[in-house]
């Protein structure tokens, strides 16, 4: 019995290894899956891989044990609102998935006001040090709803931003609104201050804004935007 199973796996691998290895599992027994663009019969992950690989817009597939490959595109995958499903395994193109996980480039910025020399550019100068006196953090004056905004070099899908907060007075950034092109993509309300943290956005656009809802100074030591 063991030998049979082994032979079967070897047989599959030998006949289609090239296509198969372009895909890797991102979720096992998932109870939700990206919206399907096409359903095709398939009795193995290998067959689903071949179906998906032959369609340029196919980004991955979810595979149901009962022999159905449900193919999906990138925008369906990236969408937070996956459809409910019988438990099935979700696969995506591995190389494309890796390329998607990348840092986006800010090419400019502005902020609602500037205190002393703590200009908006300090949030995107590549220096992640979290001490204001080292000259690499931004700082506004103390009015309500102070904001910082960064311009991406091209409209992009921002999955999340990483914010490097000041070490001291970190609690000033406990409540803020994260916006993409003027539309809120996340409202953050923390009870404990953070030092370095990711905040999801999952929106497409080119202007990323942080508006302080704490009611006074806004200071950011570094902000980085990432696409999935």
Ligand X SMILES: *[C@@H]1O[C@H](CO)[C@@H](O)[C@H](O)[C@H]1NC(C)=O
Binding site for ligand X (CB under 6 A): 35-37, 57, 73, 75-76, 79, 81, 83, 131, 133, 162, 167-168, 196-198
Nearer to ligand X, 22 or 199 (CB): 199
Burial class (CB in 10 A: 0-12, 13-18, 19+), 27: middle
Nearer to ligand X, 112 or 220 (CB): 220
Closest separation in Å from C-beta 130 to ligand X = 8
Q: Cα 205 from chain centroid?
A: 14
Closest separation in Å from C-beta 67 to ligand X = 16
User: Strand locations in 142-195, DSSP E?
Assistant: 147-164, 175-180, 183-189
For residue 178, give both structure tokens: 């994260």
Nearer to ligand X, 41 or 108 (CB): 41
Closest separation in Å from C-beta 34 to ligand X = 7
Nearer to ligand X, 19 or 35 (CB): 35
Q: Which residue is nearest to ligand X (CB)?
A: 36
Extract long-range pairs of 70-75: CB within 8 Å, 24+ residues apart: 70/33, 70/36, 70/38, 70/39, 71/36, 71/37, 71/38, 71/39, 71/40, 72/33, 72/34, 72/35, 72/36, 72/37, 73/34, 73/37
Closest separation in Å from C-beta 137 to ligand X = 10
Closest separation in Å from C-beta 145 to ligand X = 26
Could you give the residue ranges of the DSSP H alpha helices within 36-93? 45-53, 74-78
Nearer to ligand X, 61 or 148 (CB): 61
């Amino acid at each position: 019995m063991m030998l049979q199973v082994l032979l079967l796996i070897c047989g599959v691998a030998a006949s289609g290894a090239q296509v198969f290895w372009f895909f890797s599992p991102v979720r096992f027994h998932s109870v939700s899956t990206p919206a399907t663009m096409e359903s095709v019969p398939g009795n193995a992950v290998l067959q689903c891989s071949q179906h998906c690989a032959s369609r340029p817009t196919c980004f991955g597939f979810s595979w149901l044990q009962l022999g159905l490959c449900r193919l999906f595109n990138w925008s369906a995958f990236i969408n937070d609102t996956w459809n409910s499903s019988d438990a099935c395994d979700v696969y995506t193109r591995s190389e494309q998935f890796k390329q998607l996980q990348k840092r986006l480039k800010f090419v400019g910025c502005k902020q609602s006001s500037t205190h002393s020399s703590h200009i908006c550019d300090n949030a995107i100068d590549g220096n992640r040090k979290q001490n204001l006196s080292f000259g690499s953090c931004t700082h506004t004056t103390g009015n309500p709803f102070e904001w910082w905004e960064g311009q991406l070099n091209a409209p992009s899908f921002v999955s999340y931003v990483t914010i490097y907060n000041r070490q001291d007075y970190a609690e000033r950034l406990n409540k803020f609104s994260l916006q993409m092109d003027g539309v809120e993509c996340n409202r953050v309300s923390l009870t404990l201050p953070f030092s370095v943290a990711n905040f999801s956005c999952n929106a497409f656009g080119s202007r990323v804004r942080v508006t302080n809802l704490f009611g006074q100074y806004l200071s950011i030591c570094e902000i980085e935007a990432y696409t999935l």
